[in-house]
Each structure stands twice: as structure tokens, then as C-alpha cells.
């Protein structure tokens, strides 16, 4: 496989990481086209490993994915270039948007637009929660997911349990009460 040039690599992470709308999955798909199919810097196996591990790495999945791909391409240096390249420009834009929000709050028309954005963000947060559990609501797994999700909601709202404790309880409950998918895999070790 051809070796990735650092500058070219940085440019790709800059471009794909900051110009792809829609969050992690479209970004990772764009990397697949660019690095695996077009440039052949990354093997399909490496891509698959980065993709799978990113889902189980804490934090933002797509950034973990970038770290792994950068590391595959050029070691630690590659990772330390890839992650900031994919994050800093859109981060700067977020800073500018937040500063603009503080400036514009007093203006009537802008306040209207901001009101619309805030309401949409509320819908977005609930949608994010729903999209997180929806693919897991398969036959035999629904009760488990419902109990875990509603249990967490109740522990925070009704009993003010610290979110970190609730997440820990979720991990323990998930490990002890395994879902149908995991059990199937346990019976048929690959």
C-alpha cells in the first residue's frame, strides 16, 4: 500500500472532517471512499477495525475513528494530526456562532431566529435519544432496552442519582442481562 504523505493526509482530514454535514456516519463513509477505494492508503480490514473500535471507544465515535486511521497511516504523529485537523476548524466556527448568539440576543428578529433554533435543538436532543435506541428495539430485546432506558430516566428525574452512577449501573445491567444478539454470538463463537 502507498505511504500517506503527512500534508496530504492532514488536508483530507481537514476537508472530510469539517465539510461533511450530518455527523459521524457520513464522515466515516467519506473516509472509506477516499482512503480505502481511491488512494488505497488503508486496507479494508484496517478500516473495519477502526470503524468497529470507534463504536466502543468513549467520546465522539468519529474522532476516535480519525485517531485510529491517522495511527494506521503514520503512527502517533498521524493520529495527533488527524484528530485536530478534523475538529479545530468546525470548533472555531462553533465559537464564532456562540459569540454571535451572545451579541444578537437583544435584537428582535435575531431573537426570533434564535428561539427557533433553540426549540429545534430540543427536538434534536430527544430525536438523538430515540435514534440511539431504535435500532436496538428488535424482538426479544425490547423489554431490556425499555427497562434500561426508562430506569435511567427515572433514576435521574425521580431520585436525582448522579448521571455517572446511572451510566455505571447501565453498564453493569447490560453486562449481566445480555441481549439476544450477544447471546447468539456467545453460543456460536466465531
Partner 1 sequence: MNLLVLYLLLLKATVTSFSGLTSLPVIHHDLVVERRVLTDRELNAAVAAGRAGPGPYGLYVVSVGYFVAGVPGAFMGLLALMTPAFLIIPMARYVGSKANQPRIRSAIEGVLAAAAGLLVASTLPLARESVTGAFSGAVALASFVLLTATRVDIGWVMLGAAAAGLLAAAL
- The backbone torsions φ and ψ at residue 58, rounded to the nearest 5 degrees and listed phi first, read -60, 155
CA count, 13 A, side-chain hemisphere, 66: 27
Q: Does 182 bind partner 1 (CB under 8 A)?
A: yes
- Pick from 2, 106, 139, 175 the residue near partner 1 by CB under 8 A: 175
Separation of alpha carbons 78 and 61, rounded Å: 18
Instruction: Rounding to the nearest 10 degrees, give the CA dihedral for residues 150, 156, 158, 161.
Output: 130
- Pick from 77, 97, 138, 143 the residue near partner 1 by CB under 8 A: 97
Nearer to partner 1, 3 or 121 (CB): 121
CA 46, chain centre distance (Å): 19
Nearer to partner 1, 2 or 58 (CB): 58
CB of residue 40 to partner 1, shortest distance in Å: 20
Total chain residues near partner 1 (CB under 8 A): 106
Written in H, E and C, the secondary structure of 77-125 is HHHHHHHHHHHHHHHHHHHHHHHHHHHHCCCHHHHHHHHHHHHHHHHHH
Binding residues among 19-48 for partner 1 as defined by CB under 8 A: 19-24, 27
CB of residue 8 to partner 1, shortest distance in Å: 21
Q: Which stretch binds partner 1 (CB under 8 A): 1-9, 30-38, 126-134?
A: 126-134
| Cβ-based neighbour number of residue 54 at 10 Å | 21
Nearer to partner 1, 38 or 142 (CB): 142
Residues 47-86 vs partner 1: string with x where CB under 8 A?
A: --xx-xxxxxxxxxxxxxxxxx--xx---x--x---xx-x
Nearer to partner 1, 3 or 157 (CB): 157
CB of residue 188 to partner 1, shortest distance in Å: 10
**Percentage helix, strand, coil, to 5, in the chain?**
80, 0, 20
Q: Does 14 bind partner 1 (CB under 8 A)?
A: no
Amino acid at each position: 500500500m502507498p505511504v500517506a504523505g503527512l500534508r496530504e493526509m492532514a488536508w483530507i482530514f481537514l476537508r472530510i472532517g469539517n465539510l461533511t454535514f450530518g455527523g459521524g456516519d457520513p464522515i466515516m463513509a467519506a473516509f472509506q471512499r477516499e482512503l480505502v477505494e481511491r488512494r488505497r492508503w488503508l486496507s479494508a480490514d484496517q478500516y473495519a477495525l477502526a470503524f468497529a473500535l470507534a463504536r466502543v471507544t468513549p467520546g465522539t465515535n468519529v474522532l476516535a475513528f480519525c485517531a485510529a486511521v491517522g495511527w494506521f497511516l503514520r503512527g502517533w504523529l498521524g493520529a495527533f494530526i488527524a484528530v485536530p485537523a478534523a475538529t479545530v476548524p468546525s470548533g472555531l466556527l462553533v465559537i464564532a456562532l456562540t459569540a454571535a448568539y451572545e451579541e444578537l440576543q437583544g435584537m428582535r428578529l435575531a431573537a426570533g431566529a434564535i428561539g427557533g433554533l433553540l426549540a429545534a435543538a430540543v427536538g434534536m436532543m430527544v430525536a438523538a435519544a430515540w435514534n440511539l435506541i431504535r435500532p436496538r428495539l428488535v424482538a426479544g430485546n425490547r423489554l431490556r432496552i425499555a427497562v434500561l432506558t426508562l430506569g435511567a430516566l427515572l433514576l435521574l428525574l425521580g431520585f436525582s442519582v448522579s448521571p455517572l452512577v446511572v451510566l455505571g449501573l447501565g453498564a453493569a445491567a447490560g453486562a449481566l442481562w445480555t441481549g439476544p444478539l450477544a447471546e447468539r454470538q456467545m453460543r456460536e463463537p466465531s
